[in-house]
Structure 1
Amino acid sequence: MPEPFRHHGVPANPGALRRLRHELMAWVLAAGVDEDRAGDIVLASYEALANVADHAYGGSGDGLVDIDASVAPGRMEVVITDHGKWRTPVPDPRPVSLRGRGLLLLRASADRADIASGAAGTVVTLAWDLAPVRP
């Protein structure tokens, strides 16, 4: 099993979050997760990270986000924590918008998705049941 994936104090801006997504994918694949399942894990995790930028920090990119991921036999968990305050995002003026579907995507891509918000920020815990990890 690989060491846990831990990145704290990452700027909640598009460039930093994209880099984090690529690093997470490399870590998940190194943990022996098959590509399809790895895609689900990274998709849900990146959606949660993008939501931090929109909802916790109003898209300013000024806030910070923490991500902790771990793998154990039969299970992977990703925890994303922000330190912001919930803000309603600016409406998307396009006629067809994908906005507002982030929680549906999280729940569809993860076996379990728990979201806890409070005065100190929001914690998103995502978990997946895994087939036995290949050697």
Structure 2
Amino acid sequence: MCSPSNPHDDPAPALHLRQPARLDDASTLRYALADWARAQDLPPELISDLELAAYEALVNAAEHAYPDGTTGTLDLHAHHDNHTVTVIVTDHGQWRPQRAPDPRRGRGLPLIHLLSHHAEITPTEQGTVITMAWQLTRDHSSS
């Protein structure tokens, strides 16, 4: 006889979205991530941090991964368990260096590192993967 499964052992639903790599679509993905996080009953402070960090990653990818005049794609993946929330932003281009230093820009990656508990930027031949993770406390894990 099988024992009933514990609902707390079931993984939370993951978020998987793909959009064109345009600034307007980065905003759409940002709001979808915030809606997903609220549906997971994550704490509001955490939702704010992951929403802003993910948005910075999405905007960086939209602005730097594809040559001017072309539009590639952005993938947004988010999942969590009782211990960690992970958000992954993937582009399928090659990041281009900034043309000229601009003192009003260049804060996205430091902000991602500041807002998340762990952030990793991994360039590959197929694009760049930005993985951000936040640790959940027992009081802030979803039920």
Q: TM-score, normalised by structure 1?
A: 0.88
Instruction: Report the counterpart of residue 77 of structure 1 in structure 2.
Output: 86
Query: In the TM superposition, what is the alpha-carbon distance from 1:92 to its structure 2 partner?
Result: 6.8
Question: Relative to 1, partners in 2 of residues 1:48 and 1:35: Cα closer, same or farther, differing over 3 Å?
Answer: same
Distance 1:23 1:76 in 2: 15
Secondary structure, aligned partner of 2:26? helix
1:12/1:23 Cα in 2 relative to 1: closer, same or farther (>3 Å)?
Answer: same
Rounded to whole Å, the distance in 2 between the matches of 1:61 and 1:76 is: 32
Cα deviation, residue 29, structure 1: 1.3
SS of 1:80 mapped into structure 2: strand
What is the aligned partner in structure 2 of residue 131 from structure 1? 137
Cα distance 1:134–1:121, how it changes in 2: closer, same or farther (>3 A)? closer
Select the structure of larger CA radius of gyration: 2
Query: Which aligned pairs between 1:1-16 and structure 2 lie closer than 5 A?
Result: 2-8=12-18, 10-16=19-25
CA distance in 2, matches of 1:109, 1:61: 30
SS, match of residue 122 in structure 2 = strand
TM normalised by structure 2 equals 0.83
CA contact (8 A) 2:75 2:91 kept: yes
CA–CA distance in structure 2, aligned partners of residues 3 and 60 of structure 1: 36
Distance in 1 of aligned mates of 2:70 and 2:42: 31
2:38 paired with 1:29: yes
Q: 2:98 aligns with which of 89, 92, 102?
A: 89
Deviations 1:8-50 (A, max 9, x none): 2x10112211111111101111111111111001110110000
Asked whether 1:19 is paired with 2:25, we answer no
Kept in 1, the 8 Å contact 2:29–2:76? The answer is: no
User: Residue 106 of structure 1 aligns with which residue?
Assistant: 112
Q: Give the match for residue 74 of structure 2.
A: 65
Gaps of 5+ in 2: 1-10
Partner of 2:63: 54
- 2:125 corresponds in structure 1 to 119
- Work out the percentage of aligned pairs sharing the same amino acid: 34
Query: How big is the shift at 1:67?
Result: 1.0
State the Cα RMSD in Å. Answer: 1.8
Q: 1:107 to 1:59 in 2, by over 3 A?
A: farther
Contact 2:26-2:62 within 8 A present in 1 as well: no
Offset, 1:89: 2.9
User: For the residues of structure 2 that align with 1:85 and 1:129, how far apart are their CA atoms?
Assistant: 30
